Amino acid sequence: MAEALVTPEEVRILARERKAVILAHNYQRAEVQAVADVVGDSLELARRAAAVDAEVIVLAGVRFMAESAAILAPGKTVLLPRPDAGCPMADMITAAQLAEWKAENPGVPVVMYVNSSAEVKALTDVCCTSANAVEVVRSLGVPRVLFGPDRNLGQWIAGQVPDVEVTVWNGCCPIHDRVSLEMVREAKVAHPGAPVIAHPECRPEVSAEADAVLSTSQMIRWAQKAGEPEVIVVTEGGLLTGLAKAVPDTRFIGIIPAMICPNMKLTGLEDVRNALRDLTGQVVVPGEVASAARASLERMTAIG
């Protein structure tokens, strides 16, 4: 006999029984966002993980996010409902590669995007998210930084902080990087007058075409203030759920073909239920790695 469908009420009851908090990224499926205690970008989720009064943290996202939660909330049980939910960008730089890069550039501070492994964070001076990357680089007060793994975000930062030389690693988000200038211009022709908001993980020419370059949570706040009838959104399609909820009178238009991250869409309601019910998918970061990585993450959460 087929198992009955999982209901949001079942998930919420289990969360209460487990004294758990459910943190979901803005790119998660709509049904997962609907049962979460907090839906946000990487910076918001990291800050909430560090501050929550809960015994269990269910991180509906990808592995680097769960690792960050485990690092920032020692003593808590952190669950990743789909342990196979990874991040291709995070895999584009390893700790060994970063160690070699640092050795080739002695004394140059390393700013690493939060979309990276715990081992990479452990070799990093300060992490950042797309929401506070510019502020993080400015805060260092140095003439040059090494930035990775996202070349597009790094190049966008360089344009915002022209007095700092930003040397970038050659990584990217495949979902954002595949968006071309032509795709954005086609959307503008189809929706004349609609402003474009884009994520800084997009290619430089796409960011240059946008009316605003923003993190996912910044996009929601921008839309709430703008009051536009239509907005073209250049980021992973899961954000359209949060935008429509926050600003129901605005029509949000995604890029064609749709920007869908298969890793972000792995987690379903049943996965969240199973993790809570069985306490599966626990993420544990080794002590030495966690201790070194915590410093870079705590510097990140304190800025911006």
DSSP 95-138: HHHHHHHHHHSTT--EEEESSS-HHHHTT-SEEE-TTTHHHHHH
Specify the pLDDT at position 1. 39
For domain 90-172+293-301, is the CATH number 3.40.50.10800? yes
- What's the pLDDT tens digit per position in 74-89? 999 999 999 999 999 9
Residue 278 burial (CB count, 10 A): 9
Q: Side by side, which strands form the sheet with 165-168?
A: 126-128, 110-113, 144-148, 165-168
The closest alpha carbon to 124, from 152, 151, 93, 154, belongs to 93
Distance CA 119, CA 264 (A): 22
Whole-number percent of the chain with pLDDT over 70: 99
Residue 107 has pLDDT above 80, yes or no: yes
What gap in Å lies between CA 203 and CA 173, rounded to an integer? 10
**pLDDT band for position 3 (50/70/90)?**
low
For 205-242, the pLDDT digits (tens) are 999 999 999 999 999 999 999 999 999 999 999 999 99
The model's confidence at residue 116, banded by pLDDT at 50, 70 and 90, is very high
Cβ atoms of residues 58 and 276 within 8 Å = yes
Mean pLDDT of the chain: 96
Q: Helix 63-72 crosses helix 42-51 at what angle (to 10 degrees)?
A: 30
Average pLDDT over residues 134-153: 98
Q: What is the band of 2 on the pLDDT scale with cuts at 50, 70, 90?
A: very low
- Give the tokens for residue 160: 């915002």
- The answer, yes or no, to whether residue 304 has pLDDT greater than 80, is no
Tell me the three state secondary structure of residue 216.
helix
pLDDT the model gives residue 192:
97
| Angle at alpha carbon of residue 237, lines to 128 and 171, rounded to 5° | 40
Distance, in Å, from the CA atom of 137 to the CA atom of 62, rounded to the nearest integer, reads 25
What's the pTM value of the predicted model, to 2 decimals? Answer: 0.94
152 HSE (CA, 13 A, CB side): 23
Instruction: Let me know if the fold of 90-172+293-301 is the same as that of 175-254.
Output: yes
**Cis ω before 149 (30° cut-off from 0):** yes
The pLDDT of residue 148 is 98
What topology does CATH give the domain 8-85+264-284? Rossmann fold (3.40.50)
What single-letter amino acid sits at 219? M
Helix, strand, coil percentages, rounded to 5, for the chain = 45, 15, 40
Residue owning tokens 């022209």: 162
d(CA 282, CA 88): 21
Select from 3.40.50.1100, 3.30.1360.120, 3.40.30.10, 3.40.50.10800 the CATH code of 175-254: 3.40.50.10800
Cα distances (Å, whole numbers) of residue 237 to 69, 132, 206? 24, 22, 17
Q: Domain residue spans in the chain?
A: 8-85+264-284, 90-172+293-301, 175-254
Query: pLDDT by residue (tens digit) across 17-52?
Result: 999 999 999 999 999 999 999 999 998 999 999 999
Instruction: Supply the pLDDT for residue 11.
Output: 98
Looking at the DSSP assignment, which residues form a beta bridge with residue 166? Answer: 145
Residue appearing with tokens 């209901």 = 7
- CB count within 10 Å of CB 5 equals 8
Dump pLDDT digits (tens) for 237-265: 999 999 999 999 999 999 999 999 999 99
